[in-house]
């Protein structure tokens, strides 16, 4: 059964990027990519990806700077109202998660859906009852301000905790709809009005 997984790295004070949208805090950290919460094992189980526009633009810019090609073979849905370049397999969509969920689930097939970022997009999946699990690698660094990990009030269950060199790696299950805190608004969100579901 397809699960929606928010797999990401965070600072100790709960930010994905600093106030300048920089990931410099992350790129210098020591991690064994074959160790706990390693990327290779995770991506092998992913059937589709979803991103907000800020995350997507960062990935494109990183590829331009490094010369690396688009690194995903799975279908990727980018929530944005902007006209952005789209490699093969990338679908630019606007509107709410609920509106596009059937197509995302179909594209994922038997694999999981990876919420790449940002935190608002992960929150939008939770708003519609489609966020199942968090996999968070926490680095021993603080930045004071920036893009929050997940701007919602959630009840989570810690299911696993391991160390991968510099990172504390934690797996969480998201509480079911009956246990969730109520988060406004009651109706579906249009992510075009949420700053492109930014990272």
The predicted pLDDT at position 189 comes to: 53
Segment 77-95 shows an average pLDDT of: 96
Higher pLDDT: 92 or 198? It is 92
What pTM value is reported for the model?
0.90
Is the pLDDT score of 46 beyond 70?
yes
The predicted pLDDT at position 137 comes to: 98
Mean pLDDT across the chain, nearest whole number? Answer: 90
Per-residue pLDDT of 104-149, as tens digits, reads 999 999 999 999 999 999 999 999 999 999 999 999 999 999 999 9
* Rg of the chain taking only CA atoms, in angstroms: 16
Per-residue pLDDT of 71-80, as tens digits, reads 999 999 999 9
What the block records as the tokens of 96 is: 């709410």
The predicted pLDDT at position 156 comes to: 96
SS3 labels along the chain: CCCEEEEEEECCCCEEEECCCCCHHHHCCCCCCCCCCCHHHHHCCEEEEEEEHHHHHHHHHHHHHHCCCCCCCCCEEEECCCCCCCCCCEEEECCCHHHHHHHHHHHHCCCEEEEEECHHHHHHHHHCCCCCEEEEEECCCCCCCEEECCCCCCCEEEEEEEEECCEEEEEEEECCHHHCCCCCCCCCCCHHHCHHHCC
Is the pLDDT score of 3 beyond 50?
yes
Task: For domain 4-197, say whether CATH 3.40.430.10 is its number.
Answer: yes
């Amino acid at each position: 059964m397809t699960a929606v997984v928010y797999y990401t790295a965070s600072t100790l004070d709960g930010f994905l990027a600093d106030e300048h949208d920089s990931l410099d805090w992350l790129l210098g950290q020591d991690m064994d990519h074959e160790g706990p919460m390693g990327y290779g094992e995770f991506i092998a189980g992913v059937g589709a990806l979803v991103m907000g526009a800020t995350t997507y633009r960062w990935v494109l810019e990183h590829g331009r700077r490094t010369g690396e090609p688009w690194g995903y073979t799975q279908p990727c849905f980018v929530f944005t109202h902007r006209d952005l370049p789209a490699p093969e397999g990338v679908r630019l969509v606007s509107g709410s998660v609920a509106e596009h969920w059937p197509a995302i689930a179909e594209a994922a097939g038997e694999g999981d859906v990876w919420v790449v970022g940002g935190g608002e997009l992960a929150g939008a999946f939770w708003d519609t009852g489609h966020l199942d699990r968090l996999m968070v690698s926490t680095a021993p660094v603080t930045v004071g301000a920036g893009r929050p990990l997940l701007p919602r009030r959630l009840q989570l269950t810690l299911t696993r905790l391991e160390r991968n060199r510099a990172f504390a790696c934690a797996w969480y299950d998201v509480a079911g709809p009956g246990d969730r805190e109520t988060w406004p608004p009651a109706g579906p969100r249009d992510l075009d009005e949420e700053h492109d579901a930014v990272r």
